[in-house]
Structure 1
Amino acid sequence: MEPKIKILLNDGKINEKRIKILKFIEKSGSLNKASKELGITYKHAWDEIKDMENCLNEKLLRTISKGRKGGGTTLTEKAKEILNDYEIYEKGINLEISDKFWESLSIMSARNKINGIIEEIEIEGVAAEIKIKVNEPVEIVALITRTSAERLKLKKGDAVFAIIKATDVMLGK
């Protein structure tokens, strides 16, 4: 079972579908190409963008006229800021979901549990990178949420264990 969380910003006016439209416009340089790629009509894509612009009271697209050969569309700084913010929220939520999943596991194989000492903690935004010294020269790096690092009260020199499952590493204390 894979949990899915929807991110809705500005009373739902900024959502995954609209973010995809902005991303495809950024990638293709064209609202027309973006709408075709997403399988929606040009009018529908335009209406989605206009609805966001009305909600934010800011332009999200900049059109470029190039005469007979057509033009193009680029994102405004506000649109790029929205994409960046959305990506940060999305990454943070995905990290939190991952942490909750691992915390819910009650049975684990001893061979997947490795003891070590925290050598370094780097917290940036919603993520925390924990470097764990297992033994010379082996080091494990775990990426967890800032919230989880704070909840575990992790600090340099703490004895911890890393639980390795497929490509994920969970940290416990």
Structure 2
Amino acid sequence: MPLPATLSHYLTHRPQRIALLQHIAEQGSITRAAKAAGLSYKGAWDAIDELNNLTARPLVERSVGGRGGGGARLSAEGERVLRLYQRLQALHTQVLEAAEDSADLDLLGRLMLHTSARNQLAGTVARIERQGTHDHIYLDLGSGLALCAAITPESTRRLLLAPGATVVALMKAGWLSVDPEGSPVAEPANALPAQVEAVDMATPGPSEVRLSLRNGQRLCALVDNSRLATLALQPGQAAIVCFDPGSVLLGRPL
């Protein structure tokens, strides 16, 4: 049975982020790993931040003076995940043999989607409260951090959300605001304490502000240049990242 071209490519080629893990293990250098994976240096670090945000323990650790510059290495958890993926690759043939029709493979291809949201935080549902026409889903992000997402009751049912469920919270970079630590926060916004990692100026704006949370996860916010000049944010500065509960999208693995 011939495979649809797009799905055949997906099943026989490594997803880009898995490929990046493999190249980091082989190269010991983020610069070389990014080139081998077909990513820019910045794109590689964005992918690493996404991977680390979605796992209980970081898959990639930053190191100083890595071979070839831009040090990075797989953590023990990263090595374990890479071995797992390699074992799963051995099941591809069995999956293809089990498909009853090529349309089955097209369906699977449609279900495996990427998202354009820059920020993806893994968390666990702590509690669910009905407030007006929406359910407020409170997520535990670990290390004492929490956020709230406001979604419809229908979405709660469709996602089968309940305390203890593992979910991914997604927020576009433009939906986040950044203020220095101690700034007043308007209710009912989420407010996460963070530390500024880098400010990437763009002309014309908006510019990117990259932030780290104390649980090891990272966020990226887009800030207008005029506001950025007023805030005068610097790497290492303590900050507050704010976003509305209605701006949080929730997803669950299939």
Range into which the TM-score falls when normalised by the shorter chain: 0.3 to 0.5
TM-score normalised to structure 1 length: 0.45
Query: Which has more radius of gyration?
Result: 1
Greater RCO, CA 8 A, separation 6+ = 2
TM-score normalised to structure 2 length: 0.32
Please state which structure has a larger fraction of its residues in helix: 1
